[in-house]
Structure 1
Amino acid sequence: MATKNLSILFVASEVEGLIKSGGLADVAKALPEALRELNQDVRLALPAYRNVKGIEQAQVILETQLEHWPHTSYKVRELSISGVVVYAIDCPQYFDRPEMYAENNQAYSDNGERFAFFSAASLDMLQKLDFQPHIVHANDWHTGLVPFLLTHRYGSCPFFAKTKSVLSIHNAVFKGVFSYDELQCLPEFHARYAPDAAVSPSHVTMLKAGVLNADKINAVSPSYANELKTELGSHGMAAEFQRRADDLVGILNGCDYSAWNPETDAYLPANYRANRQSMVRGKRACKRSLQETVGLAEKDVAMYGMVCRLTNQKGVHYLLPILSQFLKHDVQLVIVGTGDPVLASRLKEVEALFSDKFKFVEAYDNGLAHLVEAGSDFFLMPSEFEPCGLNQIYSMAYGTLPIVRGVGGLKDSVNDYDENPAIATGFVFDEPEPIALLLVLQRSLLLYAQQPNEVKRVQLYAMEQNFCWSKAADEYLTLYHSALNG
């Protein structure tokens, strides 16, 4: 790989440590940090939402307006996260709101215009700040118009002559579909004709605009990259991903272990490390604490944990039909999460029938999430689809064996016990069926009941796995150089 140091602008709608709603924010903090440690000049662009940490005190380094119509005024405020410079694009009419994307489950009606403006301003500010990136790295639909504008607006601009674009797909379910009328803040859409973005005569999708214009595209795991080329896995954009197959790669996300490490985790009653005695003692104390916290009997029994958004994506609809049957066994189960009220009420109904074995905590509770990871023997992730997933990686770090469906990043990171016990780190099932989930749960329970020492061996082996960001950052650098040399 070429060692030339690159200038990189990483454009994202959220960044862990400043403002976060999901896994995209974790990547937007950790990847630039890892690239910086490899001596790259990487900087971030982020909307200056009202709730960004430190935004009020952040210095204004640019007051300007878009060079292109409608010449919207904006400021750039400078922040930093883990030593990486962050350019927060401050435009109160778009970003001075209580939330990032939606209030009361209702998306802001002008989200198309808001993120079209953000994409435009991210490029507009660069010449004014005298920052000339080799790579502009966009992420998901919110910034899909960045590669589009680099092509259409700046294609013949000398300042961007050597700039290439990369688009990361974190979750292709969300495409950013808007009508031409909602995107009139970009003159490029005034003619209501944009074949490299359109999904119908009246609507475009920002994700498609990014996929068809970026120099390189990556998905957040190798299996997800392959799934995107299928009708089922692409959520309706298979043709576009197939068209760009030569420029599409999968890079498994790293894991930021600074917050998820059983040796240092402040949320745990006892810390422990990847040593048999330490692990057994630590996990036992954490299991007791978890049982006490949620009100389950304090006893040595197979503990299953699940922390997730309550959505079908996370496979809750595979679990519900077989949950009562599984709870007839001598087990305990703790589920923590919020989301779909219908799924929540169904979980409460099962909890009422099995209150001595099953607790459902309808909350977003970070401390409890850490305790579930440490105090459980097995962690459930029966996802319908999972571009990368992080909880299976956290689980392994805590010596908790993930039970996952073989999709996306779950397939790429968990080794199934029955397939190869020597290198196993958990349990994998493939069929998107409740019965397949029940069978794998019973497999795990049988191993726990019959071979406790073997379970501890696999748990220790799982703890020794390392999904650090430096490896992923190396792969991204290779991708950047291939974009520049393409």
Structure 2
Amino acid sequence: MNIVFAISEVEDLVKTGGLADVGKALPLALKEAGHNVAIIMPYYQAIRVQYDLAEACPPQTLFTAGQVYHFAVRQLSWNDIPVYFVDYPDYFDRDGLYSSAYDAFNDNGERFSFFSGACLTTLQALSLQPDVIHCHDWHTAMLPFLLRNDHTGFFAGTNSVFTIHNAAFQGVHPLQEIPFLRHHPAILPLVHGGYINMLQTGIEFADKITTVSPNYAQELLTNLGSHGLHDRLVTRQRDLVGILNGCDYTQWNPATDSFLPENFDSKNLFAKKRCKQVLQQQSRLPEKEGVPLIGMVCRLTEQKGFGYLLPILDELMDHNIQLVIVGTGDPSVCMDLGEYAHNHPDQFAFINGFSSEYAHLVEAGADFFLMPSQFEPCGLNQMYSLAYGTLPIVRSVGGLKDTVKDPGADADKATGFVFSEPTSEALLSCIRRALLFYYEHPARFRDMQIRGMDTRFTWQDAASRYETLYKTMLKN
């Protein structure tokens, strides 16, 4: 099949979050499976300073009723996959990838609506007729709408897939701030109160809709889980599929991880003790091998469960544990964590920042990894934790529910500890249950570590499921 990814970020090229992991891993896995894969993304300033790329075709012009856009298309061969960049400096030659909600002028709606239209113009200019255009999140959510309303005939054999990575981010903008769409003849039915919801548009117009775990697909059919879009998703339920993201085990493998002081695997966990010792040293905690150490690496936001965690920190400090939290985000959360770390220097370390080396060391050196998320479409850290023999403590939401098994559900398949209720009390009870297991059942604890390390969530499996989905859409 001929498959084109329209996406806003790809790891190795430019990245702000987990979307970029998918933008790298899934195209590579599909290419490995024998398909013709190409990627289209914006030519950001961050890419421009890395690569001085030649134009892939003559300069292009995109006409709308409100404006004329002249742009270039640049090309890079990346892991033998052609990547085409939409080069429109007014929108993409700037610091950062996205305008922030705190910026005085947020033009994300105009920038990425234009990008969606430019993707279709680029494909025509390159004479590249895909069987499938795979769009990702609100940044490319207008593309299925534009594809459905394309009357050139060039895309008669093309279908669209739209993947929702996180329904909390919907791309809601006033239509008047989007000259590219403002005069489109089919746009008015999509406008409500003067605003257009890009994510909702992608849901309505894509041929198939996917998301990043089976359980999150079910949560999207509820008002809470979909952040208000459940009515639209329920009407498209037959076209909605949850496909679990994979894990890049070339980067997250304790047997080869260059960030670790010593490597280990499921057949020999001895070096994990050394990793714990170094983590304690670098976190300025006492070196106590027999004290359970709980790690957490994440953005410091409400979504990650700090509303559940902060109220119980005093009670957690009553236990014989150590806690290391690494991340940046909400200033009020940072202040609270900093205060607790100051008051409990022998038990609690807070690192206000992020580094890949520290993230890997926490995964390897901790005994437990904490993810008490409000919602978690897929989650990757629980997969990393399993690979490193660090038992996840998670809330039963999204991909966390799909990937972590509690001993209460099936002791022979258990890989971590799971709680359901969105309360501090439920989180505290789950942590206490994990601590009791650590102290009273060391042999079973080790069995769970080994079971987790031998568990695999591969991009090859994910690609196979996407391949099956694509084939159901092929037009003769």
Query: Which TM-score bucket, shorter chain as reference?
Result: over 0.9
Alignment partner of 1:472: what SS? helix
Q: Which residue of 1 aligns with 2:9?
A: 14
d(CA) in 1 for partners of 2:293, 2:176: 53
Identity of aligned residues (%): 49
Does residue 293 of structure 1 match 2:278? no
In structure 1, what residue type is equivalent to 2:6? V
d(CA) in 2 for partners of 1:331, 1:117: 52
Deviation at 1:134, TM superposition (A): 0.5
In structure 2, what residue type is equivalent to 1:142? H
In structure 1, what residue type is equivalent to 2:278? S
d(CA) in 1 for partners of 2:310, 2:390: 22
1:51-130 aligned at under 5 Å gives the runs: 51-52=46-47, 55-69=50-64, 70-102=67-99, 105-106=102-103, 109-130=106-127
1:91-170 aligned at under 5 Å gives the runs: 91-102=88-99, 105-106=102-103, 109-152=106-149, 154=150, 156-170=151-165
In structure 2, what residue type is equivalent to 1:129? L
1:188-199 aligned at under 5 Å gives the runs: 188-189=183-184, 193-195=187-189, 197-198=190-191
**Residue 42 of structure 2 is aligned with which of 42, 47, 54?**
47
Does residue 260 of structure 1 match 2:252? yes
1:443-462 aligned at under 5 Å gives the runs: 443-462=433-452
d(CA) in 1 for partners of 2:460, 2:51: 33
Quick check: 131-140 or 46-55, which moved more?
46-55
Contact 1:306 1:335 (C-alpha < 8 Å) held by counterparts: yes
Alignment partner of 2:59: what SS? strand
d(CA) in 2 for partners of 1:390, 1:366: 14
Deviation at 1:257, TM superposition (A): 1.1
TM-score (norm 1): 0.95
- Deviation per CA, 1:356-377: give whole Å up to 9, x if none: 1000000011110000000001
Q: Measured at CA, do residues 104 and 188 of structure 1 come closer, stay the same or move farther in structure 2, by a change above 3 Å?
A: closer
**Residue 211 of structure 1 is aligned with which of 203, 222, 234?**
203
- Deviation per CA, 1:430-453: give whole Å up to 9, x if none: 000000000000001001111112
**Residue 392 of structure 1 is aligned with which of 367, 382, 407?**
382
Deviation at 1:352, TM superposition (A): 1.9
d(CA) in 1 for partners of 2:103, 2:14: 19
Deviation at 1:82, TM superposition (A): 2.6
**Residue 332 of structure 1 is aligned with which of 295, 314, 322?**
322
Deviation at 1:110, TM superposition (A): 1.1
In structure 2, what residue type is equivalent to 1:423? K
d(CA) in 1 for partners of 2:63, 2:148: 15
Superposition CA RMSD, Å: 1.5
d(CA) in 2 for partners of 1:73, 1:399: 53
Alignment partner of 1:262: what SS? coil
Q: Which residue of 2 aligns with 1:29?
A: 24
Deviation at 1:328, TM superposition (A): 1.0
**Residue 423 of structure 1 is aligned with which of 402, 413, 429?**
413
**Residue 234 of structure 2 is aligned with which of 242, 252, 262?**
242
**Long gaps (5+) in structure 1:** 1-5
In structure 2, what residue type is equivalent to 1:215? D
In structure 2, what residue type is equivalent to 1:297? P
Q: Which residue of 2 aligns with 1:433?
A: 423
Q: Measured at CA, do residues 406 and 178 of structure 1 come closer, stay the same or move farther in structure 2, by a change above 3 Å?
A: same
Does residue 408 of structure 1 match 2:403? no
TM-score (norm 2): 0.97
d(CA) in 2 for partners of 1:356, 1:259: 32
**Long gaps (5+) in structure 2:** none
- Deviation per CA, 1:81-126: give whole Å up to 9, x if none: 3322111111100000011113695385211110011101011111
Contact 1:60 1:76 (C-alpha < 8 Å) held by counterparts: yes
Contact 1:48 1:55 (C-alpha < 8 Å) held by counterparts: no
d(CA) in 2 for partners of 1:66, 1:383: 45
- Equivalent pairs counted in the alignment come to 473
Does residue 309 of structure 1 match 2:299? yes
